[in-house]
Structure formats: structure tokens, C-alpha cells
Amino acid sequence: MSYTRRMRRSQVVVLLVALAVMPTQAVTVAPLSFEELVRHSSSVIYARVTDVRGQWTDDRRRIDSLVTVTVIKGLKGTSAAELTLTVPGGQVGRYRNLLPGAPSFARGDLAVLFLTARGPRLPVTTGFTQGIYRVTRDASSGAALVAPPVVEAAGQQSVRGDSRRKPVPMATFEDAVRAVQDGIKAVEDRVR
């Protein structure tokens, strides 16, 4: 066997060993019901994205995006008129970090955001993409319509035209959030 073939084989072996011992990162998020989403979120806001900026994490191992939003309406909890949240993945210069299933935003996006805040860190969306309900405008009336994210439970498939995926008017969505909150308050009152 030639020297070149032995070197190539050695390089392949070294590469395979290196890949085998490298730590991998994966994210698994359990599907949340709408009630759980409201319950686990510290705030729920209807907002417009005003800025998206990628930034290296402190250890420079990955890039997160800082998403700045202007709050149009608070549906649960309290929030400032402008808020910055963090989502995994993003771009800094020529470097891009993609995480499959991670939420992505662009300036001008409208969405209802379910947010969780833990300690001094910036808030994150509850349940990853489950906490983002995109808002569109009805072409004929101009009314705001809220579309739920695609979330599949284990063993369940997405079905085209599923009524649970149909956009609903913003007022109907607000009523649903309020109903869950009222149910939570009623249970808390009974416990006391």
C-alpha cells in the first residue's frame, strides 16, 4: 500500500474518531396544550418585530439572536412598551448558526408571543416555536388573524385543512387567553 493511501486512511480514521467523541447538542420540546402554554408563560404579548441582531454567546460557541419588539397589546402579565428577547441561532458577519426548529424573525413580523423569563436573563419564547403565533391581516377586512404554530404530538401527523390550524380573529384569541387565565385564578381561589 502506498504512503499516500495509508495517510488518507489514517486521516479518515482520525476524523471518524473525532466525530464519534464530539459532544452533540439536540433540543427536544414536548408539545404543550394551549392551556399549558398560557399557564407556563410569564407574559403573553401581541407585538411587532423592530430589530433582529445576531450575537455570539459569552463562550463564543454559538450565536443567539436578540429580537426587539414593540408591544402592541399585553394579553397576560406586564411588559414594557419595547422588549428584547433571545432566540437560539442567528448570523454575525459571515457566520451563521442554524438550529432546526428554532424560531426565526424578520423586521416587521407581527406575532403573539408567549414568553418565559427566568432570573436576570432576557425572556425566551415558551416551548420554543410553540410560543409564537403569527399574525396576518385578512385581505378583505384588514382584521388581525392569529395562526397557531404547527405542533405535532407524538404519533400524530399534520393534516391539511385541520380546523385547529385555522387562523382566528385577534378578539377571539384574546378571549381564549383570558378564559385560561380566569380558569387558573378560579382554581387558585378554591385552593386558598
Q: Is residue 10 part of a domain?
A: no
Establish if 3 belongs to a structural domain: no
Into how many domains does the chain fold?
Answer: 1
In a domain, residue 134? The reply is yes
pLDDT band at 12 (very low <50, low <70, confident <90, very high): low
Residue 90, SS3? strand
| Residue 39 resides in a domain | yes
Question: Which letter does DSSP use for residue 131 in this model?
Answer: G
Domain of residue 73 covers 30-150+162-187
Tell me the CATH number at 84: 2.40.50
Cell of 160: 391539511
Q: Specify if 35 maps to a domain.
A: yes
Distance of CA 169 to the CA centre of its chain: 22
Q: What is the DSSP letter of 128?
A: G
Residue 19 counted as domain residue: no
- Please compute the mean of the pLDDT values over residues 25-30 and round it to a whole number: 57
Q: Looking at per-residue confidence, does 112 or 24 come out higher? A: 112
